Amino acid sequence: MVLKIFFPQCCNRAESGLLVGRWISGHDSAVVLAVIHYPFIPGQVKQYIQQMQAQSGVELTVLGSWSLPKEGQESMESFLRDLSTIFPQQRWLQVSRQMGKMGFICEVVNRNQNGQETQQEAKKQNEEEEEKVIFVHYEQRKVMLSQLHPTESGDPDPNTEPSSELKQVFQTVARSQPLFFLDRYDDGPLKSTHWQSEGREASIIVELLKQASVPLCMLISWLLALWTWICNIRIFSLYPLRFLSSKLSTCVQISYRTEHMRTLSSPKPAAGHKQFMRKGNILVSFLVDVGLGILLMSWLYRDDHIATLANMLMPAADHVAKELEELLQWLMGAPAGLKMNRALDQVLGRFFLYHIHLWISYIHLMSPFIEGILWYGGLSVCLGLTFALSLLSDMVALLTFHIYCFYVYGARLYCLKIYGLSSLWRLFRGKKWNVLRQRVDSCSYDVDQLFIGTLLFTILLFLLPTTALYYLVFTLLRLVVVLFQGILHLSVDFINSFPLFAMGLRIFRPYRLAEGVKFQVLCDEPGTALHLLMEINPLKCSTVVQTYRTPTYSCYPRDSWAALVKKLFVGELIYPWRHKSTKAD
Amino acid sequence: MEDEAFTDISGKPISLDCQSHSSFCREFIISSPKVSMGKVMVYTCSVWLLAYAVFFFTQNTAVLSGAILVTLVGMMLHIHFVKVDHESLLVIGSLGIQVSSSYASGREITTFIEMSKIKDIVINEAIYMHQIIYYLCVLLKDPSEPDAVSSVVPLFQVRMSISQEPV
């Protein structure tokens, strides 16, 4: 079996001392975490290690000894061997290095049950009995901060060990944080070397932000409590308002942001990597959203853009109404050379024209208030760009309400006609739809039933082109509006769910999100063990987006293309975008 | 195993290099021939001649700049994403297998497969057009079922087949 020793790069030049770390059971490997230097008192070392074990939950032991003799210092071979008696272990590693040489030399001292030593030297003639050692060098700070993917979902039991060796190594280093507080520059009884000895400073801004976050969280949770109390007032629970608020995308977006704020404002620190990333992503996308919203707002309120927009709105609505009227006049004549049924044509055309007239009067009634509404509505844009887009989508829906109404009328009429035709077609052939058995059965009709049925069938059949044409025209208009709204919803969804924090972490600190590791063979000199350098292989950008996407009310097509075409053909009302609610399980 | 003449599926010559770092650590490197200048010149000249011909008829200078841009971008994409310089397989006893491919622009893609995830390494055969090729692949264990095979990872993705030519 090959013995693997994970050795931190910061300890390559450490002075002689004791190696502290952990044996990984089942894989014949050891992780070295720190080196404790001479002079030390063995009792204090044992006490320190027990204290660290209690604080961190990692099974720390003294693995062996490390010797890097300086010039003029005689080698402490016998002293090091005697140390193994003070710290009784199953295996004792004696790692030594000469200054100027790259390779390490490792001797493994095995103890069997009786406490007797059976020593195996690294150099032996009989190669089969030689214990082979691999030194894997890792950068301690990066491995400590890194998170191996795929992470376990849910709450993993901290006592069960993952079967993967690398995961255990990463977990060991990450959980040994209490060990890295004291280093050799401190005035304690023990002097140790680990990654902190390289003199890494913390950022003062991050510390200040951490201090400031607690009162901020309390303020946000108080505001949220107030807002929830307002929303729960009885008067808002009446049926029409509730139905309306579930249809308007602005209200949906508000409720969604409230959920986010609730996640952010909990004063407890994040329990685990996924929670931490979720909070980070929510915070960063919220800040970017508000930033873009304020930018938009500053553009809107400068140079009187609001007044320009309001003045453009009325003529635009008038123009749309005029175009619709022309379209209807065209349909009432001979559209594209088709011959319509005169009477039905006139009825439908006049009905729709009257509808448009009503709508335009209503818009003209509202016109003096438009600028005021836009001005105050524009203030709410400071809550975020997503609000602006949802407001725009709602305004488009309200302004094109007449198109929606026309579509519903046309579709219902067409649908009735199609059903009537199919039922009478069955009568034509002498069959009937059996509702009980959900199938088509043969049936004998009376003569007068057949007569009336045939008459009705003929009438419906000859009126079909007219209705079909109106249906086609209004469905196309409706589809255009739906497409535009869909684009707006998709962009809102994108802003909500894109994990900006995770992407930023992947670009600027790629070692924090690790997909795996990669090894590189360092120079191997004959007679020494094999040395490998372990580097962190960062996650691919597409995997980052996939793993850390904030779940939203994702707006995706409800039906496949085939089902959509079928619905259009039959005349069922289509609502192509489906909103999924985000109820966390 | 040095310097026998190997060819890959398309008939281009490749070379195999074995390094043994230790008794339980070996590295196998397969290198392809580099980008040949003749081919690059032929492609560039043909694209530019075509662009000049179109320019001659339409007198639109945007065609020329478009052709230059297309050539440059195409070359950059080719050496960054398509042209594999060498692929290597590093086998470390009781640690795992590392597969890495490095492209002509210097980009390296590395995957490390741990020993605990490997079920077996086999030679699999596949039918490619009119011939049967043999390729090495690693069988991975399924985490929930230790006996089942979860995925098959072919080694040396640039399809190489070792077919010896009579030297």
Q: What is the mean pLDDT of residues A472-488?
A: 90
DSSP string, A165-201: HHHHHHHHHHHTGGGGS--TTS-SS--EESGGGGTPP
Give the pLDDT confidence score for residue B16 in this predicted structure. Answer: 82
Give the pLDDT confidence score for residue A113 in this predicted structure. Answer: 46
For residues A440 and A83, the model is more confident at: A440
Mean pLDDT of chain B: 80
Radius of gyration in angstroms for the set of CA atoms belonging to chain B, rounded to a whole number:
21
B111: chain A residues, CB-CB within 8 Å: 516, 537
**Is residue A505 over pLDDT 70?**
yes
- In this prediction, residue B167 has a pLDDT band, given cuts at 50, 70 and 90, of very low
Bond into A39 cis (ω within 30) = yes
A1: chain B residues, CB-CB within 8 Å: 94
Cβ–Cβ gap B114/A4 under 8 Å: no
- In this prediction, residue A123 has a pLDDT band, given cuts at 50, 70 and 90, of very low
Burial of B60 (0-12, 13-18, 19+ CB in 10 A): exposed
Cα gap B14→B90, rounded to integer Å: 18
Cβ–Cβ gap A28/B94 under 8 Å: yes
Give the pLDDT confidence score for residue A504 in this predicted structure. Answer: 93
Q: Which of residues 10 through 29 in chain A touch B, CB cutoff 8 A?
A: 28
Query: Could you give the ipTM of this predicted complex?
Result: 0.78
Residue A466: partners with Cβ closer than 8 Å, 6 or more residues away: A340, A341, A344, A345, A348
Cα gap A557→A185, rounded to integer Å: 62
Cβ atoms < 10 Å from Cβ of A492: 27
| Closest CA of chain A from B127, distance in Å | 31
Cβ–Cβ gap A2/B93 under 8 Å: yes
Ranges of each domain in chain B: 15-33+83-154, 37-82
For residues A278 and B144, the model is more confident at: A278
CB A52 within 8 A of CB A179: yes
In percent, the amount of chain A with pLDDT more than 90 equals 9
Cβ–Cβ gap B25/A521 under 8 Å: yes
- In this prediction, residue A502 has a pLDDT band, given cuts at 50, 70 and 90, of very high
Of B102, B117, B100, which Cα lies nearest the Cα of B152? B117
CA A254 and chain centroid, separation? 19
Cβ–Cβ gap A127/B111 under 8 Å: no
Burial of A400 (0-12, 13-18, 19+ CB in 10 A): buried
- In this prediction, residue A501 has a pLDDT band, given cuts at 50, 70 and 90, of very high
CB A148 within 8 A of CB A516: yes
Q: Which amino acid is at A277?
A: M
Cα gap B152→B136, rounded to integer Å: 10
Which residue in chain B has the smallest CA separation from A1? B94
A134 touches chain B (CB under 8 A): yes
A165 touches chain B (CB under 8 A): yes
pLDDT digits 0-9 by tens, A85-105: 777 777 888 888 877 777 777
Cα gap A482→A573, rounded to integer Å: 13
Which residue in chain B has the smallest CA separation from A166? B114
Q: What is the mean pLDDT of residues A432-460?
A: 88
Chain B positions touching chain A (beta carbons under 8 Å): 21-25, 27, 90, 92-95, 98, 100, 110-112, 114-117
Give the pLDDT confidence score for residue A116 in this predicted structure. Answer: 45
Residue A533 bridge partners (DSSP): A137, A520
A2: chain B residues, CB-CB within 8 Å: 24, 93-95
pLDDT digits 0-9 by tens, A228-241: 888 777 666 677 77
Cα gap A576→A209, rounded to integer Å: 45
Output the CA–CA distances (angstroms, integers) from residue A579 to A83, A492, B41, B56, in the order listed.
Answer: 68, 13, 55, 55
CB A68 within 8 A of CB A14: yes
Give the pLDDT confidence score for residue A303 in this predicted structure. Answer: 77
**Is residue B63 over pLDDT 70?**
yes
Give the pLDDT confidence score for residue B38 in this predicted structure. Answer: 92
Of A490, A470, A467, which Cα lies nearest the Cα of A478? A470
Q: Encoding tokens for residue A496?
A: 């909500």
Specify the range with the lowest mean pLDDT, choosing from A176-180, A272-276, B158-162: B158-162
A537 touches chain B (CB under 8 A): yes
Q: Which long-range contacts (CB under 8 A, 24 or more apart) does A451-458 make?
A: A453/A424, A453/A427, A453/A428, A454/A424, A454/A427, A454/A428, A456/A420, A456/A424, A457/A421, A457/A424, A457/A425, A457/A427, A457/A428
The secondary structure element, H or E, covering residue A128 is none
Specify the range with the lowest mean pLDDT, choosing from A193-207, A266-280, A480-494: A193-207
Burial of A166 (0-12, 13-18, 19+ CB in 10 A): buried
